[in-house]
Structure 1
Amino acid sequence: MTWILGWTVSLLAFIKAQLVTLLLHVLSAGPIPRHVAFEMDGNRRFARLTGRRAVEGHSDGFIHSSGYILDPASVILEICMHLDIRCVTVYAFAIENFNRPPDEVGALMKLAEERLIEIAQNGALLSQYGVRLNVLGHRELLPMHVQVAIDKAERMTCQNNRAILNVCAPYASRHEITLAVQSVVQQALDKDNFDSSLITEQTIEENLMTSLGGSPPLDIFIRTSGVKRLSGFLQWQCCENTQIHMVNTYWPDFGLWDFVPILLDYQRKVWARSSS
């Protein structure tokens, strides 16, 4: 009986995998977004619901580079790569998160270092799909050991050119926009004759962290956990053409069947615009 049960489980897993492959193939026949962003919210509430510490919820939702641990970030990233989505941006740590309890912040920094070391040592998932890692944010606020791990992971993937994974940490839109404006103003001041016409929406956008990292315009913004606000994430990038989705699922539970309706809605709206 044991071998029959094992054979049945394997068969069901095979059928499920084939159905997922077929679904992704069907989706890829329609318009595909170039850039999708995820505000990975709800980790702490998910941990409390399951009777665990907050950092364990963060660990459930974090990216594992091996590809063997099916955390939601790796699953969603792999789905995006199968669909040839050019860029994925995730909000891993806000600047204001440094105000959380020191033990939680310390645990998050340790977790970030561990995952970055994984990527630097093997990075199977990123290497498999040719993904370049960009860590965007106010790096100087991070402990030096985390900064070193970031540098190693970015160097390991810098030659990858098929897709981009932006990990925003520690990040805030106001900080990003401020740096972009300062850079554009300095460029104008560096001219022999100050030229204020160089300070435009276009030049500011060209100096945002995402633009400097080669990211295309943002097509879809997704926030999990049911909270309906941007909370300082990609506020400039969420332009009139960005489709914004606030879903009730906590990030550690977010998966393919949460993502598919969003992609179908994107395709429907693209087709509607093209036919109008």
Structure 2
Amino acid sequence: MSWIREGELNLLEKIASNVLKAGPMPKHVAFIMDGNRRFARKKNMERQEGHMQGFNKLAETLRWCKQLNIPEVTVYAFSIENFKRTKEEVDGLLDLARQKFERLLEERENLEKHGVCIRVLGDLNMLPLDLQQLIAKAVLTTRTNNKCFLNVCFAYTSRYEITNAVREMAWGVEQGLIKASDVSEALLSECLYSNNSPNPDLLIRTSGEVRLSDFLLWQTSHSCLVFQSVLWPEYSFWNLCEAILQYQLNHKSIQKARELHREEQALQQLEADRACVADLLQHQGNGKPADAKRRQEALQRYSVSREARVQDFLQALKQKRNNFFFDLYDEAVSAQESLN
């Protein structure tokens, strides 16, 4: 089954789509695609077939999102917790991932035509090397596409992601790229796997469960959360419309919460900068208080230097992450050449 489904909406779907697009539309939608195993039991089929049907539904949902002008989608494909399932099921899920990423590489021209960029978020070191290499090829092959974005969370949990972001900041301090005083909520956000994406406007979980299951906990603090009872393989265009309508009904309060949060973050950063400057001036002036003009000038200089440090650190972090994918890609090419 293709990652990209061709085809237009039917007449009734087009009418509903046009009505929805008259209101505020989410630019980034996240899905917890839950219910594949229950669907398999319901249909008396193997679990693996249920997961296959779930992937087919993802491809169809991506088509709907494209028709609705939703440029970014994030999906919870494989949790770190999934490694606790039976070996048979884990192996089946990893085999399915291999098949789908191989298919994706075969479809690179179609992905380029539609401008689809694939990102994979998670700790790929937990995966078999051959799957890591396939993922690296898919990520690097599509990295310059910029019309729509699919973020696949694989070997992922949010708590692990946040812990890893803290480790990245600690690495930056150890390397002398940033100071401990530069660490902030905003910087942690930039160190998450999802740093290249805006936070989701809308998060949808299917199957009737009303938990986030350790998915995008940081990123969805000001998102619209919609829980739907339908099993993921049975998800429909109308289910998606219902969720978008919920987002539209709550759009104003969501935007207000986000604006207040941005203002609070800016105020926190200003207060942190002032505290650092006050400490510096105290040491430079032998304990004598500085006048207001001197404090303001020092604050401006400090803010500029902090921002420069942070940007240099983020550039180094980006390079480190890029090198991880390039190294995997080079290893795969070398292995293929040795076989030939």
TM-score higher than 0.5: yes
Q: Which amino acid aligns with 2:188?
A: I
Structure 1 partner of 2:192:
208
Contact 2:9 2:67 in 1 (8 A): no
Encode CA deviations 1:88-134: one digit per residue, 9 max, x unaligned: 00000011111111111111111111111111011466334311000
2:218 is aligned, of 236, 239, 245, to 236
Q: TM-score, normalised by structure 2?
A: 0.69
Q: Say whether 1:30 aligns with 2:23.
A: yes
Secondary structure at the counterpart of residue 219 of structure 2: coil
CA distance in 2, matches of 1:127, 1:38: 24
Q: Which amino acid aligns with 1:266?
A: Y
1:248 is aligned, of 200, 222, 229, to 229
CA distance in 2, matches of 1:98, 1:16: 38
CA distance in 2, matches of 1:138, 1:150: 12
Alignment of 1:1-276 (within 5 A): 17-62=10-55, 71-123=56-108, 126-191=111-176, 195-211=179-195, 214-239=196-221, 241-271=222-252
Q: Which amino acid aligns with 1:229?
A: R
Name the count of aligned residue pairs.
Answer: 250
Q: Which amino acid aligns with 1:258?
A: N
Contact 2:39 2:231 in 1 (8 A): yes
Contact 1:188 1:199 in 2 (8 A): no
Shift of 1:272: 6.5
Residue 15 to residue 120, structure 1, CA distance change in 2 (3 Å): closer
Secondary structure at the counterpart of residue 146 of structure 1: helix
CA distance in 2, matches of 1:86, 1:188: 35
CA distance in 2, matches of 1:226, 1:273: 23
Shift of 1:153: 1.5
Secondary structure at the counterpart of residue 32 of structure 1: coil
Q: Which runs of 5+ in 2 are unaligned?
A: 1-6, 257-340
Secondary structure at the counterpart of residue 93 of structure 1: strand
Query: Root-mean-square deviation (CA), in Å?
Result: 2.1
CA distance in 1, matches of 2:194, 2:104: 21
Give % identity.
39
CA distance in 1, matches of 2:109, 2:19: 26
Contact 1:36 1:218 in 2 (8 A): yes
Secondary structure at the counterpart of residue 134 of structure 2: helix
Q: Which runs of 5+ in 1 are unaligned?
A: 1-13, 63-70
Residue 46 to residue 199, structure 1, CA distance change in 2 (3 Å): same
Residue 202 to residue 84, structure 1, CA distance change in 2 (3 Å): same
Residue 273 to residue 109, structure 1, CA distance change in 2 (3 Å): closer
Secondary structure at the counterpart of residue 216 of structure 2: coil
Shift of 1:40: 0.6
Shift of 1:22: 2.7
Q: Which amino acid aligns with 2:24?
A: P
Contact 2:120 2:135 in 1 (8 A): yes
CA distance in 1, matches of 2:72, 2:8: 29
CA radius of gyration, larger in: 2
CA distance in 2, matches of 1:16, 1:259: 13
Encode CA deviations 1:152-175: one digit per residue, 9 max, x unaligned: 211221121012100011111111
Q: TM-score, normalised by structure 1?
A: 0.84
CA distance in 1, matches of 2:255, 2:203: 21
